[in-house]
A and B are shown apart, each in its own frame.
Chain A
Amino acid sequence: MTTGRTDQAPAPGVRAPAGAAALSRPEAEGLLYRECRLLDTLQLEQWLELFTEDGIYWLPIVEGEPEEVAAGISIVYDDAERRGERVFRTLHTPVLDQNPRSRTMHLVGNVEVAGVDARGDTRVLCNQVIAELRPGGPLQVGLNETRLLAARCEHRLRHTPEGWKISLKKLLLLNSDQPLYNLTFVL
């Protein structure tokens, strides 16, 4: 089986259609940094606000387009309702898998504004390295280890009256098809 990890970057020179709002790379970086800060400071309810109503938060196992996902399994495929549940569960219910909580640090690099998709949403590509630690007492199996997760990301951003919003956050982990331990924090 092939996991099809081909680079999905479109040909250079693809631009937003005339009349559409253009997004500069510094603006895109600003949006990504803001998202990372919200995640790293556990402001998850504010993170929810970054998405459009039809937005998707997606951790695929194999490369692909979101339209293809329905017939298979992803690590995460959250529409607004599921995303709301995820945040509610993490913040307001007695979870074990986030007790203790993950400390995270997101690093963003290789940011590119890469044209628009079929719906006119602007594609922003980046690489992310996420460091994660769940601290605990001595001898605690499964805690006290810093993990590094690397991922190729694609955000699709839509210009709305409230500014740019995320219509898709796709994060393909380098080890997405490998055994994965506790990914219950928001990546």
Chain B
Amino acid sequence: MIIAVFSQPGQSIPTVIGQQLGILAEEHTKLLAEEHKKELDKAIDDTRERVLKPTGNHLKEQIQIEPIRVADSKGYGVGNIEVLNQKAPWWAWINYGRAFSGRTIPPGTKDNPRITGHFVPDTKGIFTKGQPKFPIDPKIAIKPHNYIEKALGVMVNKVRNLIKTGVI
């Protein structure tokens, strides 16, 4: 990619180049953050084992792009750990196959008698609270979905492409 840099009379060329590079770097960082968010969403969707529950917090919605300001420069982060820990604490369980509590198998009625409900018809596996209340005791551990690593694995090439060609 070739970029023409113009300077006004009296302006220092290195300063103008520095400013242009700063703008370009910020644009590229934003582009990569947006792409990373897309790849994380895709990795979550691709490894989904149950249909998306229509209500409640969803992992994908809690992973957002946030601007990060350090002095005069602006960067972007994808996924705020504090937000995730609060609103989608199962992010680690899904990725690493282990909950913060140390669990691998979701809790059931034997662990907590209040955990009862029923499978919603025609939803391929959505278990919900409310009547009729049947006990449920999961037996299968949640396997690691590795959505973080999957997304990063794709992003490595996208970063290289962006640096090489100026486009993702």
A-B interaction: no
B interface with A by C-beta (< 8 Å): none
